[in-house]
Amino acid sequence: MARFIFITGGVVSSLGKGLMAAALAALLQARGYKVRIRKLDPYLNVDPGTMSPYQHGEVYVTDDGAETDLDLGHYERFTGVPARQSDNVTSGRIYQGIIARERRGDYLGATVQVVPHVTNAIREFIAADLEPDLDFLICEIGGTVGDIESLPFIEAIRQFRNERGKDELGRPCSVSIHTTLVPYIAAAGELKTKPTQHSVRELTSLGIQPEILVCRTEHPLPDSDRAKIALFCNVRKDAVIPALDAKSIYAVPDQYHEAGLDAEVLRAFGIADAPEPEMARWDDVVDRLFNWESEVTIGVVGKYVGLPDAYKSLTEALVHGGLANRVKVRISWLDAELFEHPEADIPAQLEPLHGILVPGGFGERGSEGKIASVQFARERGVPFFGICLGMQMACIEGARNLAGLAGARSTEFGAADEPVVGLITEWMSPEGLQERREANGDMGGTMRLGAYEAVLAGNSVVHSIYGEDRISERHRHRYEVNIHYKNALEQGGLLFTGMSPDGALPEIVERPDHPWFVGVQFHPELKSKPFDPHPLFASFIEAAVKQSRLV
């Protein structure tokens, strides 16, 4: 039977609860335990799929096609455990299920209420769909204790803990970790523990006495402050874990281990015989991170410049590509719209780069600038990586400039003379559509989400990069490259080297006459890990290293 670890946050948001959850999971895993991490989000959106990247950062897509919180990306990067739809729930989804049941009459005339109906649904979610041999489920609660919208979640956890109680050996079935901030007041030259005391009081007033406190600070937490927090908050002094800002997120597992977090968690569960953690995997990552041999600069030509959370997985996958090659990857964020200005000096901006990446995106804004940067990379022989919208832009560039199709465009941006990119309902035959519907459910103009297989061409660059004939990668897009333009694009040197297994949808394009030019319809960044860099990112950065020796 799995043990449950609940992680709440107090004082302020952005305390790095998600990273703490991920790092704790990595540490328990390093001790040989099987872990899974879940996130409970108190907001009312059914999922973050409809939220702007400005509001919420990246939407992380799972194999089973769920659009989830970006923290699930951290969880997967730190543990390698593929996240699932059942690992992220929001108030919106909980209420949606309850209201649907109420409309069906499932409640048999009862009054449907937050307690017990909403709290029951939350409790069911926490324990649903778990592997029978799971050792620990870590459950992070979004938001901050004291928020109105998180109350049903805290109440559900209180009930859950109370109900599960202790096992037959008298050991607790759950542990609560509360994360707080210990601010430094420069004028007084002191760290202040009062916000932590208040936050723990708030949590205990809701019926949850945390066993462990994780205290984020910018300055080392003196022993006397740990003792004071322990006294006021009713926890052991050793269970007051100081958490200083880390040099890198990948140094966080090591730092929490040094601070005693995993040991305290095991102690709180009454587990005395845990193996010591095997940290070689993380030691190697940290070694590669800080002991690099050279540097490369990758230009990311996108829309959400200055908003790194919008490209969280992409940024990490580039870092991982650097780890694979022992180089430091610097990212130059470039606003695609600036390249559309008539006086824009595109070469001046792109010449210093060792690789150009056009990431995923939605909408027309900046698309001509992205196409211009594809053209620059192609003509100058600069390594080019196009992801999702980036691959679509690469196809339009090739169609316009090498296949003589001046009207090439994506129908996402309006009517097109040459719909090189479009909805499959716009370009697939009725029979083809019918077949796909039968095989994959409704495919008409809806988002293609989650893992799909692709078949790689034998002699292609991508085949040698993956070393496999068939791959599985995650998708999140509505539009597809139109297979009817295959011949025209291939004559222009852009080969279709990855296809959906039925041969209908182009998944990968590449230019064999170029040092490194690959476009993919999927999002490889979602599956990259620091200890297992995605092969496409490793290869792209390797090409950038070669490029850096030329310029």
Among 69, 225, 316, 412, binds ligand GLN (CB under 6 A): 412
Q: For residue 429, how many other CB atoms are within 10 A of its CB? A: 9
Q: Using the rule CB under 6 A, is 303 a contact of ligand GLN? A: no
Chain Cα centroid distance, residue 308: 12
Q: Using the rule CB under 6 A, is 443 a contact of ligand GLN? A: no
Q: Using the rule CB under 6 A, is 524 a contact of ligand GLN? A: no
514 a catalytic residue: no
Which single residue is written with the structure tokens 């928020």? Answer: 147
* Nearer of residues 156 and 301 to ligand GLN, judged by Cβ: 301
> HSE on the CB side for 266, CA within 13 Å?
20
Out of 388, 475, 480, 507, the active site residue is 388
* Nearer of residues 207 and 445 to ligand GLN, judged by Cβ: 445
Rg (CA), the chain: 25
* Nearer of residues 10 and 360 to ligand GLN, judged by Cβ: 360
Q: Using the rule CB under 6 A, is 320 a contact of ligand GLN? A: no
- What are the residues facing 323 on neighbouring strands? none
Please give the span between the terminal C-alpha atoms of the chain, in angstroms, as a whole number. 58
Asked whether 337 and 365 are in contact (CB, 8 A), the reply is yes
* Nearer of residues 159 and 411 to ligand GLN, judged by Cβ: 411
Q: Give dist(CA 500, CA 427) in Å, integer.
A: 16
Instruction: To the nearest 10°, report the CA torsion of 48, 53, 55, 57.
Output: 80
DSSP 346-359: HHHHHTT-SEEEE-
The H-assigned helical ranges of 181-260 are: 194-205, 223-233, 252-259
Among 360, 450, 492, 519, binds ligand GLN (CB under 6 A): 360
Stretch that binds ligand GLN, among 56-64, 265-273, 355-363, 531-539 (CB under 6 A): 355-363
Which single residue is written with the structure tokens 């310029």? Answer: 551
Which single residue is written with the structure tokens 């029951």? Answer: 120
* Nearer of residues 229 and 388 to ligand GLN, judged by Cβ: 388
Q: Using the rule CB under 6 A, is 479 a contact of ligand GLN? A: yes
Asked whether 508 and 485 are in contact (CB, 8 A), the reply is no
Minimum Å gap between C-beta 359 and ligand GLN is 7
Q: Using the rule CB under 6 A, is 312 a contact of ligand GLN? A: no
* Nearer of residues 296 and 391 to ligand GLN, judged by Cβ: 391
* Nearer of residues 91 and 482 to ligand GLN, judged by Cβ: 482
Q: List the structure tokens of 382.
A: 């600069």
Q: Using the rule CB under 6 A, is 388 a contact of ligand GLN? A: yes
Q: Using the rule CB under 6 A, is 153 a contact of ligand GLN? A: no
Stretch that binds ligand GLN, among 18-26, 203-211, 279-287, 360-368 (CB under 6 A): 360-368
Out of 211, 525, 534, 542, the active site residue is 525
Among 77, 117, 477, 511, binds ligand GLN (CB under 6 A): 477
Query: Residue count at the site for ligand GLN (CB under 6 A)?
Result: 10
Stretch that binds ligand GLN, among 26-34, 358-366, 487-495, 505-513 (CB under 6 A): 358-366
> Binding pattern to ligand GLN, positions 236-275, x when CB under 6 A?
----------------------------------------
* Nearer of residues 96 and 440 to ligand GLN, judged by Cβ: 440
Among 476, 514, 527, 529, binds ligand GLN (CB under 6 A): 476
525 a catalytic residue: yes
The H-assigned helical ranges of 260-345 are: 261-268, 280-290, 312-325
Q: Which residues of 288-326 are buried (b: 16+ CB within 10 A; e: fewer)?
A: bbeebeeebbbbbbbbbbeeeebbbbbbbbbbbbbbbbe
DSSP 114: I
Backbone angles phi, psi at 196, to 5 degrees: -65, -45
- What are the residues facing 357 on neighbouring strands? 300, 385
Q: Using the rule CB under 6 A, is 142 a contact of ligand GLN? A: no
* Nearer of residues 480 and 510 to ligand GLN, judged by Cβ: 480
Q: Using the rule CB under 6 A, is 357 a contact of ligand GLN? A: no
Amino acid sitting at position 498: G
Among 362, 432, 504, 548, binds ligand GLN (CB under 6 A): 362
Asked whether 46 and 93 are in contact (CB, 8 A), the reply is yes
Minimum Å gap between C-beta 362 and ligand GLN is 4
523 a catalytic residue: yes
Asked whether 471 and 522 are in contact (CB, 8 A), the reply is no
Q: Using the rule CB under 6 A, is 473 a contact of ligand GLN? A: no
Among 34, 478, 486, 546, binds ligand GLN (CB under 6 A): 478
Amino acid sitting at position 288: R
CA distances from 526 to 71, 180, 326, 441 (A): 12, 29, 21, 24
Per the document, the length of the chain is 551
Asked whether 523 and 360 are in contact (CB, 8 A), the reply is yes
Minimum Å gap between C-beta 429 and ligand GLN is 20
Q: Using the rule CB under 6 A, is 413 a contact of ligand GLN? A: no
Q: Where are the beta strands (DSSP E) in 42-106?
A: 60-61, 67-68, 88-90
* Nearer of residues 328 and 478 to ligand GLN, judged by Cβ: 478
Q: Give dist(CA 290, CA 141) in Å, integer.
A: 32
Q: Using the rule CB under 6 A, is 452 a contact of ligand GLN? A: no
Q: Which positions are catalytic?
A: 388, 523, 525
Binding site for ligand GLN (CB under 6 A): 360-362, 388-389, 412, 476-479
